[in-house]
Chains A and B, each alone.
Chain A
Amino acid sequence: MNAPIASSIDQRKIFPDAVVALQGLLRDGMTIMSGGFGLCGIPENLLIALRDSAVKNLTVISNNAGIDDVGLGMLLKNHQIKKMISSYVGENKEFERQYLSGELQIEFNPQGTLAERIRAGGAGIYGFYTRTGAGTSVAQGKESREVDGHTYILETGLTADVAIVKAWRGDSEGSLVYRKTARNFNPMMATAARVTVAEVEELVPVGTLDPDHIHTPGIYVQRVIQGAHYTKHIEQRTVRKRN
């Protein structure tokens, strides 16, 4: 077999910064997936660029909604979000205010259902039947099936116009490696959007990442930036004493 061998390293996925990486992708009313669990593994630099772009009426699919002034909390404060699809939003006062005043819509999904809906969306699967949420308000209005004495409800796949994700290391092919629990929702979101923009702490030359250890293959990632700055906020700094 005569497989093609690239004669040079292709740099077309590499963008100079977060602002440039989002150029041409944003419009009011669009749907954006944003990776992270709490503030762990969130695309800090792309979220700042999104805030500064002033794009509005967004539907944001993200497990959480940041905290006041950090992560998606910045976009909430700026009134850029119309609807959140999340599993838990307990850490955000401004969220609560906008929700109670009717400015903000929320669709709660069980966390595993949210993760699987995004995975399904990226994998070309229309929907799946799950026991999660059967017999609860989550099941209302959804098709259900009885199988072997258990009730399963139909949940549908989720996709987005743009996904913004954060990885530890990445290369110009768009291959990504995440670190520890900062992986969370990032790999599925990378697969489920028309355009995925990834920011990485370390942009490394092609050939650096072990092909056996790549978490997100480059096919899912269209644009990559080296993040300019990482605060890596810790929500609860729990420690133990040395004896």
Chain B
Amino acid sequence: MWSREQMATRAAQELQDGFYVNLGIGIPTLVANFIQPEHHIVLQSENGMLGMGPFPYEGEEDADLINAGKQCISQLPYSSFFSSADSFAMIRGGHIDLSVLGAMEVAENGDLANWMVPGKMIKGMGGAMDLVAGVKRVVVVMEHVAKDGSAKFKPQCSLPLTGANVVDMLITDLAVFSRPNRQSGFELTQLAPAVTIDDVIANTTAAFTIKI
């Protein structure tokens, strides 16, 4: 099985040299720590920044410089700032190459649910619906099963959707699933260490093909 850091490391391999990338909150944020140093990757933060840098050194925090998770960050020599309308024009307009997001459920047809659980306090979708609707390629990183052991990669989502048919790749603590385009089903392409195909089948209710 993969740890959170290992899942983030695997997701970082999807970031190609020259990509503009938006990273979601949680495990996706960790992806920034595993970007290959020889690659020029520009991170976009949907609150209005391109070229997001690492957390600032202690004493250099700036209340005017935060990421979408409201964490202090730093700027880089190539950073730029813009309004939320411009930020989402970039996102919706297909200018961002890749987004890495967390999820509660992913369906075999690429549907994604990650914003609300009926009966619980609804916090809001933030920018997630815009990201999945507009970014060229969407990679989801999540635990393979829920805390009660139930499958999260399912025939269809039971939770309200964030987007319909939007997921291109799914990285879990057990395995990697991907699909060549949004008309295709998912293929199991990689297993985490010490995980078998039978383990994956036993913990997945979604249909997928095996291509390892």
Task: Indicate whether A111 sits within 8 Å of B126 (C-beta atoms), given known contacts A40-B70, A236-B72.
Answer: yes
Q: Quick check: is A133 within 8 A (CB to CB) of the other chain? A: yes
Known contacts A40-B47, A188-B84, A188-B85: does B58 contact A110 (CB below 8 Å)?
Answer: no
Chain A to chain B: the 6 pairs with minimum beta-carbon distance, closest first: A112-B88, A135-B164, A112-B130, A90-B123, A232-B63, A88-B124
Question: Given A108-B125, A136-B163, A184-B47, is A234 in contact with B83 using a C-beta cutoff of 8 Å?
Answer: no
Inter-chain contacts of A89 with B (CB < 8 A)? 123-124
A168 and B65 alpha carbons, distance in the complex (Å): 13
Where the two chains meet, the residues of A that have a C-beta atom closer than 8 Å to any C-beta of B are 37-41, 63, 86-91, 96, 99-100, 106, 108, 110-116, 118-119, 130-138, 168, 178-188, 215, 232-242
Residues of A within 8 A of B84 (CB): 37, 63, 111-112, 114-115, 184-185, 188
Chain A residues contacting B83 (CB-CB under 8 Å) are: 115, 183-188, 215
Interface residues of B (CB under 8 A from A): 45-49, 54-58, 60-73, 75, 81-85, 87-89, 91-92, 111, 121-130, 133-134, 160-165
Contact of B57 among A39, A235, A239 (CB under 8 A): A239
Residues of chain A with a CB closer than 8 A to B55's CB = 238-240
- A187 vs chain B, min Cβ distance (A): 5
The answer to whether A115 and B69 touch across the interface, beta carbons within 8 angstroms, is no
**Is A131 a contact partner of B92 (Cβ separation < 8 A)?**
yes
CB distance from B111 to the nearest CB of A (A): 8
Which residues of B sit under 8 angstroms from A40, Cβ to Cβ?
A: 47, 63-64, 66, 70
Q: In the complex where A111-B130, A137-B160 touch, is A116 in contact with B125 (Cβ < 8 A)?
A: no
